[in-house]
């Protein structure tokens, strides 16, 4: 590596043209910046809490069947899994849920007869009508055996009575300013206050 770097440095010093020097500086900067960004943000696995908050449904269940999705030119677009729900951490799914895993770099293959922790989101997919519950391999979904830590965190979240959540974030009511309530009550006629009490 040092020999190549020395050769580049010699060429750099020999260049009389400013454009060539600028090009070499940009090239070296690009190479070093690329190595610094080798682990892109989209590959980072979300925390269990963050994924729980952003999931539409969080369940523990057993895969009872799997079928290939629609084909386009001999290419299977994904797989539909039927899941028998054993425990619900979030959402109100029926006892039997159908999940979709797209046949892409994010596919999440599951074995029939195995139990899985599933943190599913809702999505729209090409060639499939309507919104579907889906999962991918970028999160904390996994076999029940491999998901012990995630299950522990989810049980804690469930017992701590986490606020009800929507598919795309936490639903919270705005805080009530006590002074506004006090001054509003102070301006009401006494008869109205007595009638409400």
Q: Each residue of 145-167: pLDDT tens digit?
A: 999 999 999 988 877 754 444 44
Please give the Cα distance from 62 to 83 (Å, whole number): 5
Helix 18-36 and helix 2-14: axis angle, to 10°? 150
Q: Where are the domains of the chain?
A: 2-36, 48-170
Contact indicator for 85, 93 with CB cutoff of 8 Å: yes
Contact indicator for 141, 51 with CB cutoff of 8 Å: no
Grade residue 177 by pLDDT with cuts at 50, 70 and 90.
very low
Contact indicator for 120, 132 with CB cutoff of 8 Å: no
- Helix locations, the chain, DSSP H: 2-14, 18-36, 48-54, 148-159, 178-187, 190-196
- Maximum distance among all Cα pairs of the chain, rounded to whole angstroms: 95
Please give the Cα distance from 120 to 118 (Å, whole number): 6
Q: Which of 3-12, 108-117, 162-171 has the lowest mean pLDDT?
A: 162-171
Grade residue 171 by pLDDT with cuts at 50, 70 and 90.
very low
pLDDT(19) > 80: no
DSSP string for 74-100: TEE-EEEEEEEEEEEEES---SEEEEE
Global model pTM greater than 0.85? no
Residues 48-170, CATH architecture: Beta Barrel (2.40)
């Amino acid at each position: 590596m040092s020999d190549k770097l020395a050769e580049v440095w010699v060429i750099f010093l020999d260049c009389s043209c400013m454009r060539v020097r600028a090009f070499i500086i940009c090239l070296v900067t690009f190479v070093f910046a690329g190595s610094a960004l080798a682990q892109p943000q989209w590959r980072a696995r979300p925390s269990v809490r963050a994924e729980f908050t952003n999931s539409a449904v969080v369940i523990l269940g057993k895969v009872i069947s799997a079928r290939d999705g629609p084909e386009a030119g001999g290419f299977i677009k994904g797989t539909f899994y039927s899941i028998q729900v054993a425990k619900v951490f979030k959402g109100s799914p029926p006892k039997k849920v159908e999940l979709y895993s797209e046949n892409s770099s994010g596919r999440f293959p599951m074995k029939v007869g195995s139990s899985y922790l599933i943190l599913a989101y809702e999505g729209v997919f090409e060639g499939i009508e309507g919104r579907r519950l889906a999962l991918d391999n970028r999160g904390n979904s996994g076999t029940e055996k491999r998901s012990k830590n995630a299950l522990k965190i989810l049980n804690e979240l469930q017992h701590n009575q986490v606020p009800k959540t929507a598919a795309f974030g936490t639903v919270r009511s705005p805080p009530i300013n006590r002074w506004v309530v006090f001054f509003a009550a102070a301006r009401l006629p006494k008869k109205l206050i007595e009638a409400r009490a």
